[in-house]
Structure 1
Amino acid sequence: MPSGNSDKTVLILGANSDVAKEAIVLYIEKGYRVIAASRSTDQLHRFIQDRAIPQEKVEICYFDAAAFETHAAFYRGLAVKPHIVVYAAGFLKDNLQALLDWEGSFQMMKVHYCGAVSILNIIATDASNKNLERIVGLSSLSGVRGRKSNFIYGSTKSAFTQYLAGLRQHLFGRGVAVNVIVAGYIRSKMTAGLNLPESLMLEPAFIAKSVADPGNSFTIVPGFKWKIIYHILRLLPEQLVAKLP
């Protein structure tokens, strides 16, 4: 275990996501202490127990990404201000259902974008936190180009990615790194039941490696197939994008 990280803390927001839980394991293996924040605290406690993670290495606390009015108090209540912050909160509504159900659309906006901006603004503007080294956001390739099958979900992820791009520039002078993980299809509880191509599915533990060790690039696309798809999507003419599902 790297002793150099033993006095450092990682705050994971939306820590009950499948990727976030694997990231908890990796950060602890790297020597960090983790604050795992989620609405699903009972499920996190079971995960920590099932994976035999030392309880003294993880603090589990309640956090609701969509309850903006609670974010300032949540951050003030942290016993230790974080060195690394990971935003991994997620919510998915079928695009057709989201078109007919404003509350479902709004929930995706609140969880993926509004909630992220709310809490990360608070963290990024805390000049008293000399610990802050890095902010990592879990986004999606769905946000690269608008497609008719998932443009509402994709628009929330696109907005989140653009926010992180600007935040990276804003924090550059303080030496705080900002990374965005632009992930493809992940085998998770959020995608369970969706008809997705098996050959493109990635495991949460694989994505978590990029979360725990993102490097210096702003955009990280895990998996060589998804790297190719990412670049094709960015360059594809609009008339061809319109033919995609």
Structure 2
Amino acid sequence: MNQNTNKTVLILGANSDVAKQSILQYIEKGFSVMAASRNTLSLEKFVQQNSLHSQVSVLSFDSVDFDSHQKFYDELPAKPHIIVYAAGFLVDNERGLTDFKDAQQMIMVNYMGAVSILNIIAMDKSNENLERIIGLSSLSGVRGRKSNFVYGSTKAAFTTYLAGLRQELKQRNITVNALVIGYIRTKINEGLELNESLIMEPDYVAKFIVNAGNSFTIVPNFKWKLIYWILKMLPESLVAKLP
């Protein structure tokens, strides 16, 4: 019998390509999955196509409807062992600069929604099951660059929040991980001009989620690890020359 039988994962923003691959891989490891998204019809279709009805519960969750988050958590069918915050929203930097509604949506989905629901989950000390929280962040948040700093700032804030949450929850033996991700072949990146050699597949990234260890920062793919450290170390004068 799989050692993870009877353990439950809650995936928030479960309609993304990476999240759906994570659902499949968590099930392979013996977990039950609560998949939460605004678009429950798409999730229901995914569950039906993969014959997952006995292992996956589809739940309605809106990351920007902050007032609904406490009720959503209180009514979960089970207290989760693992939380994955995978909700995300992206527009190009020009739109983020010229249309505040787009910038606001990125801020609310990528950061505010995460803080709202994860605070509720983390502060429920009655949930003795909770052992891990994983947040999907981005290389865009490592340094401010002129091509994507509006989106990047939301991910930088999220990563900083997760770092502090990790310290807060350490005494309860709860691990917090930040998955710092580069380009993925997903819906959110459709239409963007990206370096094909750097694009990762959703199932590849999902493996790093499902097999997350004790390290706080997890950067899938050695090329992106190299880019991550270069970005961290570059002086500001050189960062300013990047696109």
In structure 2, the partner of 1:23 is 22
* Cα offset, 1:53, TM superposition: 3.4
Q: Indicate which of 91, 94, 102 corresponds to 1:93.
A: 91
User: Does 1:173 find its partner at 2:209?
Assistant: no
CA contact (8 A) 1:113 1:157 kept: yes
In structure 1, the partner of 2:42 is 43
Q: Which runs of 5+ in 1 are unaligned?
A: none
User: Does 1:228 find its partner at 2:217?
Assistant: no
Partner Cα separation in structure 1 for residue 190 and residue 46 of structure 2: 19
User: Does 1:214 find its partner at 2:178?
Assistant: no
Secondary structure of the corresponding residue to residue 4 of structure 1: coil
Give the share of equivalent positions with the same residue, in percent: 62
**Structure 1 counterpart of 2:209, one-letter code:** V
5 Å matches for 1:1-245?
3-50=2-49, 52-245=50-243
Partner Cα separation in structure 2 for residue 48 and residue 241 of structure 1: 44
User: RMSD across aligned C-alpha pairs, in angstroms?
Assistant: 0.7
Partner Cα separation in structure 1 for residue 198 and residue 47 of structure 2: 29
Partner Cα separation in structure 1 for residue 186 and residue 215 of structure 2: 26
* Cα offset, 1:93, TM superposition: 1.0
CA contact (8 A) 1:16 1:44 kept: yes
TM-score by length of 1: 0.98
Secondary structure of the corresponding residue to residue 56 of structure 1: coil
Partner Cα separation in structure 1 for residue 51 and residue 159 of structure 2: 32
Partner Cα separation in structure 1 for residue 14 and residue 51 of structure 2: 15
| Cα deviation 1:208-245 (Å, max 9, x = unaligned) | 00110111100000001000000000000100000000
Partner Cα separation in structure 2 for residue 18 and residue 3 of structure 1: 26
Partner Cα separation in structure 2 for residue 3 and residue 23 of structure 1: 17
Secondary structure of the corresponding residue to residue 55 of structure 1: coil
TM-score by length of 2: 0.99
Partner Cα separation in structure 2 for residue 160 and residue 233 of structure 1: 18
Partner Cα separation in structure 1 for residue 84 and residue 51 of structure 2: 19
Secondary structure of the corresponding residue to residue 11 of structure 1: strand
| Cα deviation 1:168-205 (Å, max 9, x = unaligned) | 00000000000010000011000011000101000011
Secondary structure of the corresponding residue to residue 195 of structure 1: coil
**Structure 2 counterpart of 1:174, one-letter code:** R
**Structure 2 counterpart of 1:37, one-letter code:** A
* Cα offset, 1:49, TM superposition: 2.1
Partner Cα separation in structure 2 for residue 189 and residue 117 of structure 1: 24
| Cα deviation 1:94-136 (Å, max 9, x = unaligned) | 1101111111001000001000000000000001100000000
Partner Cα separation in structure 2 for residue 69 and residue 101 of structure 1: 25
